[in-house]
Amino acid sequence: MRSRTPVSRRSSWWWLLAATVTAAVVSTSCSGGDDQVVRVYSGRHYDLEQAFEQFSEETGVSIEFLTGSDAELRERIEAEGEETQADVYLTVDAGNLATAVERGVFAPLDSEVLDRAVPASLRDPDGNWYGLTIRARTIVYNPDAVAPDEVPVTYEELAESRWEGRLCLRNSSNVYTQSLVASLISHHGRDRAAEIVAGWAENAEIMANDVLILESIAAGECDAGIVNHYYLARLLEDDPDFPVELVWANQDGRGVHVNISGGGVTRYADDPDLAQQLLEWLATDGQSAFVDGNHEYPVNPEVQPEPLIRDTFGVEFKRDDLEASTFGALNPEGVRLMDEVGYR
């Protein structure tokens, strides 16, 4: 029987206490004295242990990882410079990945495995980062409050006056909101995007998180909203009768906005080859282990989604093929636009 290679988890509060990442590490080891270790800084907090344990069992490579906010970890990598302990930086949202590129966090990769596994629109054109999971940000509604003939099917129509006082949306400081607005700028131009976002601000109660939006819709406090699909999947897993339904946005046009979580190898990784091996595994053999627990869609088109989202939401829907690098780069402009039109 093959022995299990341990995986070390370092909770986010260690980030604030430790003078260096090494001080925060719980040592892991394989048999023998020439341990192979990949160190991961992750702003994506979901189901890391399961995926990393499976990778270690299959490869004999240990993983040590630190979780924290995306900005904290990125700033830590920058501050550590050539002495960084991070081999891999994982994060959520294309905007965070674009910022990491600007800050020189990543070393570009040349990987046929990743190029085959990850669609071109969901990876950096220069190989700095690769998407590893898909999270669709789409429209949800209460079927008891919204008649079948008035179900909203586009982001744009939620700016219409008929939705005044009926809408719940995420706040402007949230990266998912920022990326959605950035995609509107890319598709419509800045002026039209500003009109849409101003309409949202006029119609909506702005909330701190997606779960609160869904619970408010279920309670009848608002009729519709925009959330990442997996938040609804989590609630349906606990309560199959949860009274909120999902509609894939903009199916007669560009398709629903899709964002990613992803990562890359850091510029000063101690073992870039092992770090690349981990990313390649996460995009191929490890896709299901990495995405299923959070009900995300696999980035690899050859991997099937887990049963709940496959059977409840489906797999045959039109996705916006706007490159993640494009709306990621427009993230700062999206933030400015929301501020200008009063979307808070």
| Lowest mean pLDDT across 42-51, 87-96, 117-126, 216-225 | 42-51
For 61, list phi and psi in degrees, rounded to 5: -95, 125
CA distance 40 to 66: 6
For residue 236, what pLDDT is reported?
Answer: 98
Q: With pLDDT > 70 as the criterion, what percentage of the chain qualifies? A: 90
pLDDT of residue 231: 98
CB distance 56 to 62 below 8 Å: yes
With 90 as the cut, is the pLDDT of residue 133 above it?
yes
Cα–Cα distance measured from residue 159 to residue 152, given in angstroms and rounded to the nearest whole number: 10
Comparing 3 with 87, the larger pLDDT belongs to 87
Tell me the residue ranges of DSSP E strands in 144-255: 167-170, 204-207, 224-228, 245-247
Q: Output the six-digit token pair for 247.
A: 């509609």
Whether the CB-CB separation of 309 and 316 falls below 8 Å is answered with no
Quick check: 247 and 140 in contact, CB under 8 A? yes
H or E, element range at 289 = helix 287-291
Q: 309 φ, ψ to 5°?
A: -75, -30
Rounded-to-5 percentages of helix, strand, coil across the chain: 45, 20, 35
Confidence of residue 47 (pLDDT cuts 50, 70, 90): confident
Using the predicted structure, report yes or no on whether residue 119 has a pLDDT greater than 60. yes
How far is the CA of 31 from the CAs of 4, 27, 50, 227, 270, in angstroms? 10, 13, 21, 45, 21
pLDDT (0 to 100) of residue 322: 97
Which of 35, 155, 48 is closest to 91 using CA atoms?
48
Residue 34 confidence (pLDDT): 52
CA distance 169 to 340: 17
For the stretch 309-320, pLDDT in tens is: 999 999 999 999
pLDDT confidence tier of residue 55, bands split at 50, 70 and 90 = very high
Q: Which residue has the higher pLDDT, 19 or 332?
A: 332
pTM for this structure?
A: 0.90
Q: What is the pLDDT of residue 89?
A: 98
Q: What pLDDT shows up at residue 46?
A: 81
Q: Between β-strands 167-170 and 224-228, what pairing exists: parallel, antiparallel or unpaired?
A: parallel
Alpha-carbon dihedral 167, 172, 178, 183, rounded to 10 degrees? 40
| Residue 290 near residue 47, CB atoms below 8 Å | yes
> What pLDDT does residue 20 have?
33
**φ, ψ dihedrals at 267, nearest 5°:** -60, -35
The residue to which tokens 């706007």 are assigned? 322
Which residues, listed in sequence order, are joined to residue 63 by a DSSP beta bridge? Answer: 7, 38
Q: pLDDT digits over 253-271, tens only?
A: 999 999 999 999 999 999 9
Computed over every residue of the chain, the mean pLDDT equals 91
With a CB cutoff of 8 Å and minimum separation 6, the contacts of 204 are: 163, 167, 168, 169, 222, 225
- Give the C-alpha separation, 293 to 133, whole Å: 12
Residue 258 contacts residue 134 (beta carbons within 8 Å):
yes
pLDDT at 8 over 60: no
Asked whether residue 28 carries a pLDDT value surpassing 70, the answer given is no
The conformation of residue 305, written as its DSSP 8-state character, comes to P
Helix, strand or coil, per DSSP, at residue 319? strand
- The pLDDT of residue 79 is 95
Average pLDDT value for residue range 93-109? 96
- The whole-number pLDDT of residue 35 equals 76
Give me the pLDDT at residue 13, please.
32
Q: How many CA atoms lie within 13 A of 132 on its CB side?
A: 33
Comparing 45-59, 196-210, 226-240, which segment has the lowest mean pLDDT? 45-59
